Amino acid sequence: MGSSDRRPYETATVLDQALLDECSGNEVCDLRMLVLISVPTGAFVTDTLYLSDRNMVVGENFYDARLVFPPIKRNVGEILTPQITFSTVSLVLSNVDGLFNPIMPSGQYYKSFVNQRVIIKLGLGEVQSTYDANVIFDGFVTEVGGFQRGTKSFTLICRDKFDDLKAKFPNTFFTSAEYPNIGDNVSGKPKPYILGDWTTNLEIAKDASIPTFIVNGADANMNGEIGSTNNVQLVISENTNRVFDTTHVVIQRSDIAYVINAADVVNVNGNKNYFEIVQNSGSTLIEGVNFIFKQSDKFFVKIEGASIDGPNTYPDNPVEQARFILETFGGAAPGDFTANWDTLRDKAAPAQSAIVNIPSRIWVGKPVPALDTALSILEQIRCEGYINRSQEIDIQTMHWEDFDPSPSLVVRQDDIELNSFKMQIPDRNNINKAQGFFNFLPDIKEEYQATVLRQNAAAVAAQKEIIKGLVFPNLYVQTDVINQLDEYLKLISGGREDITVNQSWRVLTLDLGDWVKMDAKIQSTQFDGVPCWIRSIGFNSVGMKISLTYFSFQLLPFQTWNPGYSGIVGGQSASITDG
Amino acid sequence: MAIGEVILGYLEDPYLEGGYLLGDVNSGLPVQLDVFQTGIMSVELFALSEAQGAMGVQLIVSETLGYTQCEGEGYLEQPYLENAYLANHLCVGLGIELDVIIRRGLGIELLVRNYNDKLCRVMCDIESRGDSLTNWTASSTLTSATDSFNINNVDNDLEERVWRSNNVLTGIILDNDAGAGNTVTVDTIFMRAHNFTTSASINLLLSDDPTFTVIGQTIPISITDSEEFYYIAEDAPLSGYRYSRTTIEDPTNSNSYLQIGVYGYGQSEVFEDKCFVLPIESEDTEYADVIRTEAYTNKMNFRARRRKLRMNFKNFVYDSQDWKRLQRIIDCAGITQKALWIPTPQQPYRYASWAKLTKLPRYRNNDIGSGNQSYIDFSLETDEVL
């Protein structure tokens, strides 16, 4: 008599949801983790250690049982607090038998472990391809305390390879080597980096907001100590600019702005980030007197910042600006990005989500992490960057129309670890009235404009008024900001809950940004097919369980998800009005 | 009986007389044979054909047996030990076979093993591992940049560190060289973590010839289990050989490769008289990651299955041969070395365990007198997970 195979994992060659579902139905699977660690040449057969928490063969390699894997987590950050966190992975490798002594200090093949690559994979049985498809950590041994050892073991502390995305920019500075006559007040400052269109929506009085830096302030023949015969030399930015409006260079003196006569703006370089102003020419008059430089003078310009993705293709597009920053300063390669970046860059509908029509600009005058800057730009258009399970830089939206109202994967009681299912209304992102502050201008060093107060009146009536100011520093068109503000209010004014839960390996293939249908009814937590959105995911080799954080949309109707529960005040159709 | 051997004579009860012995066997250079063992029913005297140059055989029972060593059994003594070289007496019991192996040499070497295939046996010193860690060669090895499937992996105690053929299922030859001066005498064979089918044709050839032109002994390996194999020789092997060759044909194997985790053979320590008392306790443990779910059922992630054994020994006579045997096992294995434990050789698969001792035994000594009048109780517990 035949019977079904209740251990399909023994013969499966593909780790997909169908297999996990089948194994989950039989309540057993064979999932494993392994790690590859680069080591100095010569000590072992290859320059890689193949290790695991068990002795096993995977593919063409034997993996030695030498360690216990720590939990490894990824997340997509919080709404309005866009910070991706990377796991710092600490691996403790057993060396009780001295196997690794040749690569320990004083060993024949010792070489510093710093920056050695560490890759952790998760897969099925001995099937190599399943591990290659599930890299859950890819990084390097850190330079600070990355290697420690005791008598029986040594420890490698590793950072994610995308940690480099946190590199700060701008990363070039004004120096006397480059500008021999530079003044002390400028020397050592970073050269600003500029993206986007800085010729519009500027401070009214000057109508020019990009500061310039005098790089010959110590020239006695320029600054008046000896004379004022030499030109004032000014640098706008580190980057090449697309447009420099020489007709609108503004000098600010004693809080009054004057336009430098275009005839006095000379020697503009090809990169449009350097120019000079002629003194005492008679062309530029200030208070009726020829322009002569004073130490307190400040100069501002109107420019269009760096080109992106080829000459002027997407210079103002926030998605492309974020990608450009990650590539240029975060060390990301074009191949690190998913195709979703192109898709969202070109998104043209609905109006509030038409990224292609939402211009953005950025002026960075002091070093800031590239990743933080990119995520901030994305957050302002309700997008989020994150590292997906394929170790790519991915992007998703918080656009209602992009959400999945009916996910195919259903989570039930038997997927949920006992007593781990918990939910909470977030402390910070629970507001029902907000004002948007936008259009950061570097000359005034703050957001220049603000929207009216907007509110979800129903939510205010249902609980109490919870007001918050939301900042959109890189957006400068008011309708764009109001659109984003309203959409955020719909999302965060409805009493949305965050779910934290440990689940079985059945959800192993899920990734950040994936959706599940929560169908778990456990005493006070009754979820009847509720769409939930994955915000963080962690892999724990002990038990091979998955730790997840979801956004619950139980009280947030959207698209076809309309449960009709009483007390619903948020969601896609919530009414947002002036407040 | 292996090819090339001839029976030169019999020495058996009650005809322990010179007429049944060839003339040139009971004369010549004396070689001392110590027989301490109880339970000798008869003596079969075999010699290899190569022993034609032997100068003679001398059998001396040099120790006077105490009554306690023949308790419950009988004496075999003069006049049934009639020849001048057969002195004193032997204890005898039913069903015990004493094989005498004659080897070629300057004189005659008699190896006497009180052998059985009924009582517990333990293989700790695995002769096939020879004197180096690289004493195997394979006609086919699966390609690996990390050399993960080297044939010498079969000498490794880790079952998961395997040899695999290079996508070949037939015509595979695994050669083993025990090393100069070493011989492998095979009364026990074991394989773990193999993937052979029950239709596989596998033979172990033993020879002193590295080219295997002359084969001393052939042992068929008949696969009955999908992961393990055990062979227990019915009779004590007569000879040891330096070289061994395993030939493998498994054309119907559903895998693309053939695999062996641990493979060893040689002589076990075979308990002769005293052994564990019933019951023997065995416990297989399946190790798995477990998630207790809200559905009040567990989701598991399989890791491994391992066996644990517990054997209780009672009234072991201090300093008896089995006691000494036990001490050799403990000295060899301790708690750090794996050994092959086969409590019931008649049903080797039932309790066989490739395991370490969980701890050294704690002896309960009933020391009622000096010397042999000391009886010891103890337990041995082994665990494959250690």
**Predicted local distance difference test score (pLDDT) of residue B114:** 67
Between B255 and B68, name the one with better pLDDT.
B255
The pairing of strands A31-38 and A117-124 is antiparallel
Interface with chain B: mutation pick from A38, A48, A53, A414, highest number of B CBs within 10 Å:
A414
CB–CB of B294 and A417 under 8 A? yes
Q: Is the predicted pLDDT of residue B66 greater than 80, yes or no? A: no
**Strands in B120-187 per DSSP E:** 121-123, 136-138, 163-164, 172-177
Between B35 and B181, name the one with better pLDDT.
B181
Distances in Å between the alpha carbon of B218 and those of A470, B3, B135, B240, B346? 85, 9, 20, 12, 21
3-state secondary structure A319-339: HHHHHHHHHHCCCCCHHHECC
Closest CB from B143, B294, B299 relative to A24: B299
For residue A136, give how far its alpha carbon lies from the nearest alpha carbon of chain B (Å): 18
Cβ atoms A361, A320 nearer than 8 A: no
The CATH number that applies at residue B305 is 2.40.30
Task: Report the 10 Å Cβ neighbour count for A187.
Answer: 18
Closest chain A residue by Cα to residue B158: A55
CA-closest candidate to residue B90, choices B63, B115, B57: B63
- Is residue A82 reached through a cis peptide bond, with omega within 30 degrees of 0 on the bond before it? no
For residue B257, give how far its alpha carbon lies from the nearest alpha carbon of chain A (Å): 12
Question: Which residues pair with residue A539 across a beta bridge?
Answer: A72, A546
CA-closest candidate to residue A88, choices A33, A139, A154, A150: A139
The CATH number that applies at residue B141 is 2.60.120.260
CB–CB of B304 and A54 under 8 A? yes
CB–CB of A61 and B302 under 8 A? no
**What angle is formed at CA B210 by the lines to CA B209 and CA B214, rounded to 5 degrees?**
35
Q: What is the mean pLDDT of chain B?
A: 76
**Predicted local distance difference test score (pLDDT) of residue B82:** 39
Same domain, yes or no: B309 and B196: no
Distances in Å between the alpha carbon of B18 and those of A39, B9, B55, B80, B109? 73, 10, 16, 11, 20
Q: Is the predicted pLDDT of residue B41 greater than 70, yes or no? A: no
User: For residues A458 and A568, what is the distance between their CA atoms, to the nearest angstrom?
Assistant: 9
Closest CB from A45, A60, A418 relative to B292: A418
Closest chain A residue by Cα to residue B160: A56
Same domain, yes or no: B158 and B246: yes
Chain A contact set for B256 (CB, 8 A): none
CB–CB of B145 and A61 under 8 A? yes
Same domain, yes or no: B169 and B260: yes
Q: Is the predicted pLDDT of residue B30 greater than 90, yes or no? A: no
Q: What is the count of structural domains for chain B?
A: 3
Q: Is the predicted pLDDT of residue B73 greater than 70, yes or no? A: no
**Predicted local distance difference test score (pLDDT) of residue B2:** 32
Question: Which regions in chain A score pLDDT beneath 50?
Answer: 1
H or E stretch including B329?
A: helix B321-333
**Predicted local distance difference test score (pLDDT) of residue B10:** 38
Token pair, residue B86, equals 């057969």
For residue B238, give how far its alpha carbon lies from the nearest alpha carbon of chain A (Å): 38
Same domain, yes or no: B79 and B130: no
Same domain, yes or no: B148 and B188: yes
CB–CB of B297 and A545 under 8 A? no
For residue B262, give how far its alpha carbon lies from the nearest alpha carbon of chain A (Å): 14
H or E stretch including B302?
A: strand B298-317
Instruction: Point out the domain boundary residue: B219, B243, B270.
Output: B270
Same domain, yes or no: B129 and B255: yes
Cβ atoms B90, B40 nearer than 8 A: yes
- Is residue A473 reached through a cis peptide bond, with omega within 30 degrees of 0 on the bond before it? no
- Cα A63 to the chain's mean position, in Å? 35
For residue A75, give how far its alpha carbon lies from the nearest alpha carbon of chain B (Å): 23
Residue A90 class from Cβ within 10 Å (0-12 exposed, 13-18 middle, 19+ buried)?
A: middle
Chain A contact set for B302 (CB, 8 A): 9, 28-30
**Predicted local distance difference test score (pLDDT) of residue B104:** 35
CB–CB of B301 and A417 under 8 A? no
Share of chain B above pLDDT 70, in %: 69
Same domain, yes or no: B219 and B177: yes
Instruction: Point out the domain boundary residue: B85, B115, B145.
Output: B115
Range of the domain at B27: 5-115
Closest CB from A62, A414, A545 relative to B297: A414
| Interface residue B367 vs chain A (CB under 8 A) | no
Instruction: Point out the domain boundary residue: B214, B244, B270.
Output: B270
Residue B113's pLDDT band (cuts 50, 70, 90)? low
Closest CB from A27, A54, A542 relative to B300: A27
Look-up: residue for tokens 């005098």?
A214
Same domain, yes or no: B145 and B238: yes
CB–CB of B293 and A46 under 8 A? no
**Predicted local distance difference test score (pLDDT) of residue B370:** 60
Same domain, yes or no: B215 and B246: yes
**Predicted local distance difference test score (pLDDT) of residue B371:** 54
Share of chain B above pLDDT 90, in %: 51
Same domain, yes or no: B208 and B131: yes
Mean pLDDT of B47-62: 35
User: For residues A125 and A10, what is the distance between their CA atoms, to the nearest angstrom?
Assistant: 7
Tens digits of residue pLDDT in A316-347 = 999 999 999 999 999 999 999 999 999 999 99
Same domain, yes or no: B297 and B357: yes
**Predicted local distance difference test score (pLDDT) of residue A202:** 95
Mean pLDDT of B363-367: 87
Same domain, yes or no: B97 and B48: yes
Cβ atoms A378, A473 nearer than 8 A: no
Cβ atoms A23, A29 nearer than 8 A: yes
Cβ atoms B124, B269 nearer than 8 A: yes
